Structure 1
């Protein structure tokens, strides 16, 4: 019984990968993701020094901070329109006519999209490592690995959110509007705006920081900082609360596990809603 299911999942993954590789969204996304790394390399940012960061460390810090703004927006906008767009175009009815279970189709598509989203980012990080080796820089392999993990966690979170929005939306316009609104709210609730408003209202600092860290963008941002700034000097007094409650290792594990679990929960909720809705 398990072999046909495994084979069907493999076919679904291969079909989705082939279809997405031919689409314009993937080519544009890969060009932006890898091109951004090449642009940072050619502009000589690795030779500059900011707050003690230089060489490959400086390059990775800059790239990962820019990725935090581009990656979630692209994922949630493209994914939120996927299933509802297929329903409107009639492609969903055609795909579900094949002898394949709904769970296999849904999760096969989720896994394939996650692979395609992460592949250009990992390729860009590999290019940075090759560049660092050619220049004779010390390559922080631990940081490269953790950055890859953090990017995978953030991608899983927003991919799951995109699948949920696509499952509950009635049209592509609603899905697109909701995805942009959620992204703007998460960006607005990064530490500067959130902390300034809530501290001014005299909230307990621990509560303010807990709300900020519930934002997956903020968790990613703080974890990317803590790798090169273990004392979190850039965060100011908020660092004491984070380090006292988590520690460096504990917070990195939180930043890896929390967005991943959140994305899986979003995707699971999206599948539950999708399987009980009018599919066509």
Structure 2
């Protein structure tokens, strides 16, 4: 356990020194600052005002930016150590493969989750200072959703990094995964629905396998329990889940998905040539 925490600390320290962490923190902190400058908390659109509207906008932007940041910065975690011969050096110490692998995951999770979470805390502190009401229930649930989304893509990134030796190939695969989940799967499912080749319920169920889609629907449901902005799709979702059951599912499923990918990544990492 001590070695695992040591690896996590070293990865965390290395990430903080890297330029990408500064950019990563500035992106999410800058978004909150930009919303404040634009007067988002003082305006009202479609019934959303104050911190509720700010959090809604923050989450909708985060769903696009957060996955690609996690994939790009994490997918080179193990493959980069191979390229720089750091992996061979680290394993020369009395550290097991399990401690190295899960220590890297722990350290990288802290790195990718805390800036996103602290940006929301910054929004709450500012909101309280100007006398805005804080939607605590939505804040806690959004924190859970961000935790789940980070877990899912962190597991996917380490799975890719475990079997790809070249950092360039790892980056290419991570971009493909992000684009596929963000756009291609929606385009493909919409075309199938328009051609009426499959039942709508099956197409929607396939769409909800996508952790990004689940995150988006759950975030909308916190402000719009009837999911009116989603049109007919809402009827299938609401008939299958109630709001709280769906939000709970949208938190547990990505965490489980990320854990499964991380475990498979460890299996591959422990059985293949390491250097």
TM range (shorter): over 0.9
Matched, 1:246 2:223: no
What's the C-alpha RMSD, in Å, of the aligned pairs?
1.2
Deviation (angstroms), 1:52: 1.4
CA deviation after TM superposition for structure 1 residue 190, in Å: 6.2
Which of 192, 195, 198 is 1:198 aligned to?
192
Contact 2:83 2:165 in 1 (8 A): no
Instruction: Give yes or no for the alignment of 1:128 onto 2:137.
Output: no
Equivalenced residues, count: 274
Gaps of 5+ in 2: none
Q: Deviations over 1:186-231 (max 9, x none)?
A: 111465x355312112121111110111111000000000001000
Corresponding residue for residue 151 of structure 1: 146
Paired with 1:74 and 1:119, the residues of 2 have a C-alpha distance of: 13
TM-score by length of 1: 0.95
SS at match of 1:156: helix
Q: Does 1:137 align with 2:132?
A: yes
Partner of 2:177: 182
The question of whether the paired residues in 2 share the 8 Å contact of 1:189 and 1:212 is answered with no
Of 230, 237, 242, the match for 2:232: 237
Deviation readout 1:89-125 (Å, 9 max, x if unpaired): 1111011111111101100110111111111111111
Moved more, 17-26 or 114-123: 17-26
Q: 2: CA distance between counterparts of 1:26 and 1:232? A: 36
In the alignment, which residue of structure 1 is the partner of 2:94? 99
Moved more, 81-90 or 223-232: 81-90
Match of 1:225 in 2: 220
1:220/1:240 CA distance change after superposition, 3 Å: same
Which residue of structure 2 lines up, in the alignment, with residue 262 of structure 1? Answer: 257
Question: Corresponding residue for 1:90?
Answer: 85
Which shows bigger deviation, 260-269 or 129-138? 129-138
| Residues in 2 aligned to 1:95 and 1:50: alpha-carbon distance in whole angstroms | 54
Instruction: Indicate if the aligned counterparts of 2:124 and 2:134 stay in contact, CA closer than 8 A.
Output: yes
Report the TM-score when normalising by structure 2: 0.96
The residue aligned with 1:3 is: none
Would the aligned equivalents of 1:156 and 1:259 in 2 still touch at CA under 8 Å? yes
Q: Which runs of 5+ in 1 are unaligned?
A: 1-5
